[in-house]
């Protein structure tokens, strides 16, 4: 595992320019996550959670400030470097799953390796191992429309891990799942972290999801207002702490 801090965000701002108005999403955010683990970013709608996640995943660029992910300074990367970072430097999981509908589960998992030019045999072997790990070996040849929501999200997690990245960014990963599927998915993420395979930074607004994490950061109006460890706190406790942090 990389010895640099897992995630460093310094004075990051981001404003969306919409017709007739500017919408500031992040107003000078600072965040430092030193060690590997399972982290949650919570906050109300419009607080900038997803924006921060997209910036950390190099899917968008901040207006000002810097972001380092496992030692990689994102602002120093050119287009090719950012593409390569998205491919190998981190993994990302979306609320909407975002699998490619025309590819099978196996091909979806192997997709980043395919883009990287890896041979078919090698990438398929690694992808299949990840599917087995996620309990989806019998679903490998199915396309997304033949999978349940939980299965799709597990395929998405497997895809995000194909290059064994130091961190997975998860944007409301249980938002489209029923409670049982959601709980199972969170346990799997927890297991990955506990086994030291990766770290997870998850955006969520669900206290029930956040209790699986080690530490919670609360984002309010584009800035972090509080952070606290989760140990010994249940979902109700998380909800109360977040509520207090949001005033």
Question: Can residue 75 be called a binding residue for another protein (CB under 8 A)?
Answer: no
How many angstroms separate the Cα of 133 from the Cα of each of 22, 154, 233? 45, 10, 29
Q: How far is the CB of 59 from another protein (least distance, A)?
A: 4
Q: How far is the CB of 153 from another protein (least distance, A)?
A: 14
Question: Can residue 178 be called a binding residue for another protein (CB under 8 A)?
Answer: no
**Nearest-CA neighbor of 69 among 43, 31, 38, 40?**
31
Contact pattern for another protein over residues 9 through 48, marking x by CB under 8 A? -------x-x------------------------------
Question: Can residue 86 be called a binding residue for another protein (CB under 8 A)?
Answer: yes
Question: Can residue 87 be called a binding residue for another protein (CB under 8 A)?
Answer: yes
Stretch that binds another protein, among 62-70, 98-106, 126-134, 206-214 (CB under 8 A): 98-106
Strand arrangement of the beta sheet that strand 38-42 belongs to: 91-93, 167-171, 199-203, 38-42, 215-220, 223-229
Among 78, 79, 195, 231, binds another protein (CB under 8 A): 79
Q: Take residue 206 and report the two structure tokens written for it.
A: 């669900």
Tell me the C-alpha distance between 123 and 162, whole Å.
8
CA-derived radius of gyration, the chain? 18
Among 14, 54, 68, 161, binds another protein (CB under 8 A): 54
* First-last CA distance in the chain: 38
Residue 32 vs 61, nearer CB to another protein: 61
Kindly report the backbone phi and psi dihedral angles of residue 8, in degrees, each rounded to the nearest multiple of 5, phi listed first: -125, 120
- Determine if residue 28 is left, alpha or beta; phi over 0 gives left, psi from -120 to 50 gives alpha, anything else beta: left
Question: Can residue 115 be called a binding residue for another protein (CB under 8 A)?
Answer: yes
Binding interface with another protein (CB under 8 A): 16, 18, 50, 54, 57-60, 79-80, 83-84, 86-88, 92, 94, 96, 98-103, 107, 111-112, 114-117, 120, 159-160
């Amino acid at each position: 595992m990389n010895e640099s801090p897992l995630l460093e965000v310094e004075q990051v701002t981001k404003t969306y320019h919409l017709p007739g108005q500017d919408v500031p999403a992040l107003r000078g955010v600072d965040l430092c996550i030193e060690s590997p683990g399972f982290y949650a970013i919570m906050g109300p709608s419009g607080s900038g959670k997803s924006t921060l996640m997209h910036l950390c995943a190099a899917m968008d660029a901040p207006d000002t400030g810097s972001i380092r992910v496992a030692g990689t300074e994102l602002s120093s990367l050119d287009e090719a470097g950012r593409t390569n970072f998205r491919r190998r430097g981190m993994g990302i999981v979306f609320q909407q799953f975002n699998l490619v509908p025309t590819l099978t589960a196996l091909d979806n998992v192997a997709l980043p390796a395919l883009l990287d030019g890896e041979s078919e045999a090698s990438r398929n072997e690694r992808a299949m191992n990840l599917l087995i790990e996620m309990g989806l070996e019998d679903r490998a040849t199915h396309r997304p429309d033949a999978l349940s929501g939980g299965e799709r999200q597990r395929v998405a997690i497997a895809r995000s891990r194909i290059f064994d990245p130091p961190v997975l960014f998860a944007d409301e990963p249980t938002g489209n799942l029923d409670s049982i599927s959601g709980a199972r998915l969170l346990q799997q993420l927890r297991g990955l972290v506990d086994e030291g395979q990766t770290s997870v930074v998850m955006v969520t607004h669900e206290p029930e999801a956040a209790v699986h994490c080690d530490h919670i950061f609360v984002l309010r109006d584009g800035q972090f207002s509080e952070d606290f460890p989760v140990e010994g706190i249940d979902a109700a406790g998380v909800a109360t702490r977040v509520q207090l942090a949001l005033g």
